[in-house]
Amino acid sequence: MTELRTERRRKKKKSWKRRLLIFVLIFLIMILGVGSYLVYQTYQAAKGSYNGLERPGEKSEMRKEAVTVGEDPISILLIGVENYSSGGKNGRADTLIVATLNPDTNKMTMTSIPRDTRVELPEEGAGEYAGYHKINSAYHYGSITGYGGNRLTVETVEDLLHIPIDEYVTVDFEGFRDIVNSLGGVTVDIKEGFWEKNIFNNDKRIYFEAGPEKLNGEEALAFVRMRKRDVNAVYPRDERQRQFIQAAIGQAISLGTIFKVGEISDILGENVETSLRPTEIYSLQKAYSSINASNIKTFNIEGANQWFGNQIFFLPSEAGINEVSDKLRNALGLPEDSGTGEPGTIE
């Protein structure tokens, strides 16, 4: 009888660790090209990463009522910040991913917003820098005006896609690298060989060869960030990011994956910010611990590059914006005519 109770406790402990790992890694991979939210190790560590958006009623202006994390369909903006070249301050959003999670369907969507997307930043938030910019600069200008880089980025994405953004998670490059290393790396079946600079090692080249390869933190960051090599035409960044997600989730649910709790706790607070409270993180873990790769859909925004002055921007098509907006509203359980008007477009 004693042995039976011991065995039950062992299995229960193992199951808890596995669910926690899956939850953590799903949010890690959601940041993709830059890093991710990921780590619910302890309440105090998660609490140190909390940074609210200071919105009236603690909800998006595009919501009639506040949503409850873990019970209602929600959207989370995942922001990967490049701040290594600016001394850790006032960086730019190298990666923007809109994730939706629906507890009723146990499904998730992920939509990449090209960092060069042309948007108009309002005077409230951008101050003297108001006007047309690349969307990755919303974080930068919101930070230096004191409005809040996370807040201005969230509001800019809401205006672009005309959907409510309920929460956000921001992580920097160092956080992504350290987290991947703490998880023991991720094995990816590389489609085409290429190289990319290692920003952590004097821009020395990291070479990727076709075939399965286990990537450490620095290699994984280079793999998902590369966008200027010729091979990008046949092996685009979005495809590599989706591939990384699939590989990471597959690794998370494998029995051989080891979750290094102690190491990841040191990353929280220093490299991760989020509007999710620790209790909400726990609610997400309970609601989505059984999600798998087959329940994740990815959407792309159709458009084309276009010169404006001496800069090249990504200009989404009106049809592309409307299509993605409709899909995301559907994923959030919102009708196409939600009473908030037409999806935002870029002139």
| pLDDT reading at 30 higher than 50 | no
pLDDT of 185 reads 84
| 144-157: average pLDDT | 96
| 110-134: average pLDDT | 94
Q: Per residue in 261-315, pLDDT tens? A: 445 556 666 678 889 887 887 787 677 766 766 777 888 899 999 999 999 999 9
Provide the 10 A C-beta neighbour count for residue 3. 7
Task: Mean pLDDT check: name the lowest of 172-176, 247-251, 270-274.
Answer: 247-251
Task: Mean pLDDT check: name the lowest of 55-59, 219-223, 329-333.
Answer: 55-59
Q: Per residue in 40-82, pLDDT tens? A: 444 556 666 788 898 888 899 999 999 999 999 999 998 888 8
Query: Which residue has better confidence, 106 or 245?
Result: 106
Give the helix ranges, DSSP H, for 162-236: 173-182, 217-225
- Residue pair 114/105 in contact (Cβ under 8 Å)? The answer is no
- For 130, residues 6+ apart whose C-beta sits below 8 A from its C-beta are 120, 121, 122, 123
pLDDT of 224 reads 86
Most confident of 10-19, 238-247, 253-262: 238-247
Paired sense of beta strands 272-274 and 211-215, if any = unpaired
Helix (H, G, I), strand (E, B) or coil at 93: strand
pLDDT of 7 reads 53
pLDDT of 85 reads 58
Helix (H, G, I), strand (E, B) or coil at 342: coil
Separation of alpha carbons 286 and 331, rounded Å: 20
Quick one: what percent of the chain has pLDDT higher than 70? 72
- For 26, residues 6+ apart whose C-beta sits below 8 A from its C-beta are 249, 252, 288, 291
| pLDDT reading at 343 higher than 50 | no
Taking all residues of the chain, what is their mean pLDDT, rounded to a whole number? 79
Separation of alpha carbons 158 and 166, rounded Å: 10
What tokens does 288 get? 């989505």
* CA 52 to centroid of chain Cα atoms: 17
Q: Which of 276, 282, 315 is nearest to 169 (CA)?
A: 276
Separation of alpha carbons 167 and 156, rounded Å: 14
What tokens does 171 get? 């992580």
Paired sense of beta strands 118-121 and 107-112, if any = unpaired
- C-alpha separations of 52 from 59, 154, 155, 185, 333 in Å: 11, 12, 14, 31, 24
CATH numeric code, 17-178+261-331: 3.30.420.590
- Please state the length of the chain: 347
pLDDT of 36 reads 37
